[in-house]
């Protein structure tokens, strides 16, 4: 037992341990989701959180120690943000043909996502720094963190809110679209990308490739528009 404790004490200070644990948890989560035939509620990110959280609690590992290991994944968010240009370029012909409805849906979705968060935060009398952290929750994580830091929010809180928004969106988007009888895969995918960023886009690709492509377009455009409209909405609504 003492040998095990000593081994754990050594491994827990090694960044590679938590990087490996994060990747391993996600791979297991993917397999579980596939085995269950990818239902909306079996989201790989949610399952990964459910697998990692008890381990961190049981081993009394704080977030700082965990992040030292997982920061390489965090670093990859930067290149991932740049890669958002790829779905825009690959689908440039489609965007040109549908530029008016795409822009209308984008402006409506982005404004409602950020504006509703601000108004609800005010209605519940949340502190201003929490309100500022909540405003960019519906855009992809690297952009949301940059916006939060620029406007005076708490980036770590924004990161949590972004992940929660993505998970909730990915879980409810398919049942909601079915209830509303929306069968157009382009519309379904675009809505998922605007409301639930990368996690919603990943879910859209599993449901239908056309929906996934449009979710990628929406996610990229929403990242750009949100960075422009959040400061304006804050001045107007607060």
- The 3-class SS string of the chain reads CHHHHHHHHHHCCCHHHHHHHHHHHHHHHHHHHHHCCCCCCCCHHHHHHHHHHHHHHHCCCCHHHHHHHHHHHHHCHHHHHHCCHHHHHHCHHHHHHCHHHHHHHHHHHHHHHHHHHHHHHHHCCCCHHHHHHHCCCCCCHHHHHHHHHHHCCCHHHHHHHHHHHHHHHHHHHHHHHHHCCCCCHHHHHHHHHHHHHHHHHHHHHHHCHHHHHHHHHHHHHHHHHHHHHHHHHHHHHC
Q: Kindly state the tokens that stand for 229.
A: 């409209």
Q: What is the pLDDT of residue 159?
A: 87
Q: What is the pLDDT of residue 62?
A: 82
Q: Kindly state the tokens that stand for 24.
A: 């391993």
Dist. CA 39–CA 30, nearest whole Å: 12
Contact (Cβ atoms closer than 8 angstroms) between residue 32 and residue 49: no
Contact (Cβ atoms closer than 8 angstroms) between residue 212 and residue 90: no
Report how far apart, in Å, the C-alpha atoms of 31 and of each of 24, 26, 34, 103 are. Answer: 11, 9, 5, 37
- Residues sharing a CB contact under 8 Å with residue 76, sequence separation 6 or more, in sequence order: none
Q: What is the pLDDT of residue 90?
A: 77
Q: What is the pLDDT of residue 112?
A: 92
Q: What is the pLDDT of residue 162?
A: 92
- Residues sharing a CB contact under 8 Å with residue 127, sequence separation 6 or more, in sequence order: none
Q: CB neighbours (10 Å) of residue 119?
A: 14
Q: How far is Cα of residue 184 from the mean position of the Cα atoms in its chain?
A: 23
Contact (Cβ atoms closer than 8 angstroms) between residue 205 and residue 211: yes
Tens of each residue's pLDDT in the chain, 238 residues: 555 455 555 555 566 788 888 888 999 999 999 998 888 888 898 899 999 999 888 888 887 778 777 777 777 777 776 776 777 777 777 777 788 888 899 999 999 999 999 999 999 998 999 999 999 998 888 889 889 989 999 988 998 899 999 999 999 988 999 999 999 998 999 999 998 988 888 888 888 888 888 888 888 889 889 989 998 888 887 7
């Amino acid at each position: 037992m003492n040998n095990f404790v000593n081994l754990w004490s050594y491994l827990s200070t090694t960044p590679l341990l938590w990087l490996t644990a994060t990747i391993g948890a996600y791979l297991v989560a993917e397999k579980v989701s596939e085995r269950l035939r990818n239902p909306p509620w079996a989201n790989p990110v949610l399952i990964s959180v459910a697998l990692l959280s008890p381990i961190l609690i049981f081993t009394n590992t704080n977030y700082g120690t965990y992040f030292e290991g997982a920061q390489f994944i965090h670093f990859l968010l930067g290149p991932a943000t740049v890669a958002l240009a790829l779905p825009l370029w690959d689908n440039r012909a489609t965007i040109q043909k549908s530029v008016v409805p795409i822009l209308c849906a984008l402006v409506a979705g982005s404004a409602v996502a950020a504006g509703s968060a601000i108004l609800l935060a005010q209605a519940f009398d949340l502190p201003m720094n929490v309100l500022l952290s909540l405003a960019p929750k519906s855009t992809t994580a690297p952009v949301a963190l940059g916006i939060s830091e620029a406007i005076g929010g708490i980036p770590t809180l924004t990161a949590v809110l972004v992940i929660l928004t993505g998970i909730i969106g990915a879980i409810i988007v398919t049942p909601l679209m079915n209830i509303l009888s929306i069968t157009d895969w382009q519309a379904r995918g675009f809505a998922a990308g605007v409301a639930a960023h990368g996690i919603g886009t990943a879910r859209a690709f599993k449901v239908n490739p056309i929906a996934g492509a449009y979710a990628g377009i929406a996610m990229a455009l929403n990242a750009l528009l949100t960075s422009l409209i959040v400061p304006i909405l804050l001045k107007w609504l607060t």
